Amino acid sequence: MSSRIPSQTSNGVKNVFVFGNPDLEFDSLAIRILPKLKKRFPALYFAIKDPHEELDLGEEFLIIDTVEGISDVTIFPGLEKFAASPSLTLHDFDVYASLRFAQKINKLPPIKIVGIPPGLPEDQALRKTSEALRRIGC
């Protein structure tokens, strides 16, 4: 199943795709802080995406996801760091595989990934993710 969400709505709202599994403690942090992120950033359109769902890629977009191998919230300007280091991976492999395939066939628009380490306390994850979104210009 594929859902088409433009990367920017007609009123200029940027899309942020959020990945995670609410049933798994180590993979649900982005989803748990999402309600507060929505309140802090009402101009953004946040969409929880299923990692098994095919993404219909539009223009530039943001991803918030758990990233193993980091110790702090980190902004990645693309997939290069994930490809270069086997110890640094998006938790949702299906998302990464889809993005890498799109990149390989030149269909991947510019992306930024806000990576959250799985063990970060929720309040710190919210604060640091908010700071990262502001640094990106959201």
Q: Averaged over 68-92, what is the pLDDT? A: 74
The confidence score (pLDDT) of residue 54 equals 64
Q: Mind spelling out the 3-state secondary structure of the chain? A: CEEECCCECCCCCEEEEECCCCCCHHHCHHHHHHHHHHHHCCCEEEEECCCCCEEECCCCEEEEEEEECCCCCEEECCCHHHHHCCCCEECCHHHHHHHHHHHHCCCCCCEEEEEECCCCCHHHHHHHHHHHHHHHCC
Asked if 102 and 110 count as a contact pair (C-beta separation under 8 A), the reply is no
| Angstrom distance (rounded) from CA 106 to CA 71 | 31
Going from the N-terminus, what domains does the chain have, and what CATH number goes with each?
A: 2-136 (3.40.50.1450)
Model pLDDT for residues 19-33, shown as the tens digit of each residue:
888 888 888 999 999
Predicted confidence (pLDDT) at residue 7 exceeds the cutoff of 70: no
What's the rounded mean pLDDT across residues 100-105?
Answer: 84
Name the pLDDT band for 91 (thresholds 50, 70, 90): low
The pTM of this model reads 0.81
